[in-house]
Amino acid sequence: MSDESRELDARVDALRRAGRYAEAANLCLQAGDPARASDLFAAVWDWPAAIRAAEQAGRYAHAYRHALEANDRGALTRLLGVLPDHPDQAVEAAGAAERKGRVVDAARLHAAAGDVATAAELYERAGELGEAARCHESAGRYREAGILYERRVREDPHDGEAALRLGRILAHFGRFEHAARALQIAERDPEQRRSALGILIACFAALEMHEAAVACLDRLRALDPALPRAVPDFLRVTYGDERGLAAYALEGGGVHDASQLLAGRYRVLRPLGSGATGRVVLTHDGFYDREVAVKILGVGTGSQGRDAYARFAREARVAAGIEHPNVVAVYEFNPDGPFLVMEYMAGGTLEERLEGDRPLPLAIARHVAKSLLAGLEAVHRRGVIHRDLKPANVFFGAAGDVKIGDFGVAHLQDLGATLTGALLGTLAYMAPEQITGSAQPHAATDLYAFGCILHRMLTGTLPYPGPDFVTQHLESPIPRVAARRPELGHFDPLVTRLLDKAIDARPGSVEEVRLALDALDWTDPDENALERLVKEEQRPPTPPRQSAAPSAPPPALERFTLLEPLEAGAWLAHDTLLERRVRVEGCDAARAAWLQHLGQADGPHLQAIFDVDVENERAVLEQPEGEPLSRALLDDARRERVQAELEAALRRLHAAGLVHGDLRLSNVIVGPGRAVLMLPTSATSSSPDDDPAALAALF
């Protein structure tokens, strides 16, 4: 350091100690050290001077931070234009912006620095769905982009650019019908009209809607008369093939025939059931890459058909507006089908578990009852009465979560609907006022049906077994639980109130019923003291940890019958709620977080994660049927298929940013119809490139 530098430092330090920061800063400026001057100006909150000095020094992130402190909008705007040319500083500035709550600025800066994943997350958090979608699209994450564009168009149907971008993505994936809907929205925007029409022609051509394609071409030629007059010629010029988009629309990497899909989007896998007004099928939604249930309306013509359609449309409006863990989610209503796209509940229905006149174990009955009440409370809060609550409309998810579905006869109080159709529903669970039409449906109407379900879960039989349900519901004395199970007589006061024939005599709200249920003793009388002691000794300690995403509410241990101990303190157990074998393991908070990450890679050839109960440090995982790969007898064809299934499982893990790192013969279970790769027990330092090599070594 030169004598001049030492002298300058001494003078600056002396001025700073004397509190004369501005003089010290100006001295630094005169000496050609604007960076130091900027810090000194900032120390005395002279933000304009600090900003100028930082910019002079090329410290744009510092200048942006000072502008944030000063709330200097001009400087902030100017620096947001400069920082993208300095990616490292842009990231630093983004952190400052986020800390100050300027989430959109932080997103812009992350995008400028090339971190589009973080930018997309921040834009979405700020409600800027279009910007978030564009970030995903720029990174080639078209599915994520499409989902956000779809949300944006739903939020603002006048956003022509979002509709156009959504239409392009859907068309790329062969979803021509859905793409056409988005593009028709985009066509209304003068700035997007030309582009939208060009793709719309190709979509209609792919759907073999030739007249619609010609009409779109006519509208486009009104904007540009030089275009070809015939649709095939237009497609050949625009797309290089007279088939247009249909020639190379991608569906999982290959050409797909849109005519084989419902609405150009849902591929039917198998039937799930049918009823008086339609059928339900399991489908694969290629756009969201998930399995969904589709309820397809099938009714006759005339007034009956119109009434059935009206009820179906009402179900769509009601169910789609309710988001609750104990109500089956409705994703889409397609009026042209018409069909309803719903969450697929893999665990079946309560009706299936009540067959054979067997009561449910009390722990399970309590879980179902509390879940139904939570769902009903959400429904009633929306001014909706279900009116068809019955075990066939109570569904189980893969993790044992319980949800209410099928709002086909729900009654909207705020619409002032008449009693037309009051006899819809199932007589075995129907309240007297529904049968007679003597009163408008009320929360107590659903609670009557809940009382019938509770009685059946406790005793195994309906309160009124029929066949003359009408007379029994209207005139017969209220049956007692104690008549069939004397040891459960303490449930009678509540069940009797729920089944009272007078609507005003029943509990007035779900909350009242919930408090009454919580006050009851749910100890299973069939479990004597010795059996309880044995069960207690069989409980897994709190060993190594395993598995996945929490569900509401977590399963009680009484739901699982422990069968035999497994390695690392785990237990093989029988899930009495879903009638299947599972693996019950210990799980602390760290293990739960790891398994939640693993849950992002969920697929048919990866061990499923059913539930995590962090509070009780317990996790429930799939216990696949079959033999370890070391003992499985495979011919060449089966061997190739197993290897391909394991490769698919690894691709899902790698796509989620995970590495397996522990591919062993014992970690592969080969069962009937599929092979399952067991999940890794902990994170690994291995590279994604190590997994394929390990897999090849297994074979």
Find which of 104-113, 302-311, 488-497, 587-596 is predicted with most confidence, using mean pLDDT.
488-497
- pLDDT band of 410, cuts 50, 70, 90: low
Mean pLDDT of the chain: 81
Q: Which helix (H) or strand (E) holds 161?
A: helix 160-172
- CA nearest 592: which of 570, 568, 571, 620? 620
Q: H helices within 300-347, ranges in order?
A: 302-320
Check for a shared fold between 350-526 and 529-622: no
pLDDT score for 167:
92
- pLDDT band of 533, cuts 50, 70, 90: very low
pLDDT score for 25:
87
pLDDT score for 287:
67
Q: Does residue 420 carry a pLDDT above 50?
A: no
Q: Does residue 303 carry a pLDDT above 70?
A: no
Please, what is the end-to-end C-alpha distance for the chain in angstroms? 67
Q: Does the active-site annotation cover 388?
A: yes
Lay out the sheet containing 266-275: strands in order across: 266-275, 278-285, 290-297, 339-343, 330-334
Mean pLDDT value of segment 71-83: 87
Question: pLDDT exceeding 70 applies to what percent of the chain?
Answer: 84
Three-state SS for 21? helix
Q: Does residue 9 carry a pLDDT above 70?
A: yes
pLDDT score for 185:
93
Mean pLDDT value of segment 76-96: 85
Place of tokens 């079946």: 348
Q: Does residue 245 carry a pLDDT above 60?
A: yes
For the chain, helix, strand, coil in percent to 5 are 50, 15, 35
> pLDDT tens across 430-445, in order?
999 888 877 777 889 9
pLDDT score for 482:
93
CB 551 within 8 A of CB 619: no
Bridge partner list, 268: 283
Integer Cα distance of 156 and 550 in angstroms: 33
Mean pLDDT value of segment 503-528: 85
- pLDDT band of 301, cuts 50, 70, 90: low
Tokens of 329: 């989610």
Query: Residue 546: which residues within 8 A CB-CB, separation 6 or more?
Result: 570, 583, 585, 586, 587, 591, 595, 619, 621, 679, 681
Pairing of strands 411-412, 402-404: unpaired
pLDDT score for 673:
67
Give φ, ψ of 399 to 5 degrees. Answer: -95, 10
Q: Does residue 413 carry a pLDDT above 60?
A: no
- pLDDT band of 284, cuts 50, 70, 90: confident
* Better-predicted residue by pLDDT, 249 or 589: 589
pLDDT score for 372:
95
> pLDDT tens across 454-465, in order?
999 999 999 998
Q: Which helix (H) or strand (E) holds 668?
A: strand 668-671
- pLDDT band of 329, cuts 50, 70, 90: confident
* Domain 627-698 is found in CATH 1.10.510.10: yes
Domain layout of the chain by residue ranges? 1-85, 102-155, 261-343, 350-526, 529-622, 627-698
* Domain 261-343 is found in CATH 3.40.50.1000: no
Sign of the torsion formed by the C-alpha atoms of 207, 210, 216 and 221? positive
Tokens of 457: 């879960």
Tokens of 444: 């107590």
- CA nearest 524: which of 351, 282, 360, 313? 360
- CA nearest 134: which of 168, 101, 100? 168
Question: pLDDT exceeding 90 applies to what percent of the chain?
Answer: 22
The region of weakest confidence among 115-119, 180-184, 193-197, 484-488 is: 115-119
Three-state SS for 292? strand
**Residue 254: left (phi > 0), alpha (psi -120 to 50), or beta?**
beta
pLDDT score for 531:
43
CATH architecture of structural domain 529-622: 2-Layer Sandwich (3.30)
Q: Which of 46, 115, 388, 613 is catalytic?
A: 388
> pLDDT tens across 467-495, in order?
888 889 998 999 999 999 999 999 999 99
Three-state SS for 682? coil
Q: Which helix (H) or strand (E) holds 339?
A: strand 339-343
* Better-predicted residue by pLDDT, 93 or 684: 93
Integer Cα distance of 378 and 391 in angstroms: 18
∠618-623-629 over CA atoms, to 5°?
A: 135
Query: Options 1.10.510.10, 3.40.50.300, 3.40.190.10, 3.40.640.10; which CATH number does 350-526 get?
Result: 1.10.510.10
* Better-predicted residue by pLDDT, 121 or 253: 121
Place of tokens 């069960």: 535
CB 444 within 8 A of CB 507: yes
> pLDDT tens across 208-244, in order?
888 999 999 999 999 999 999 999 999 888 877 787 7
> pLDDT tens across 341-369, in order?
888 888 888 998 888 778 998 988 999 99
Tokens of 82: 């400069």
Integer Cα distance of 457 and 402 in angstroms: 14
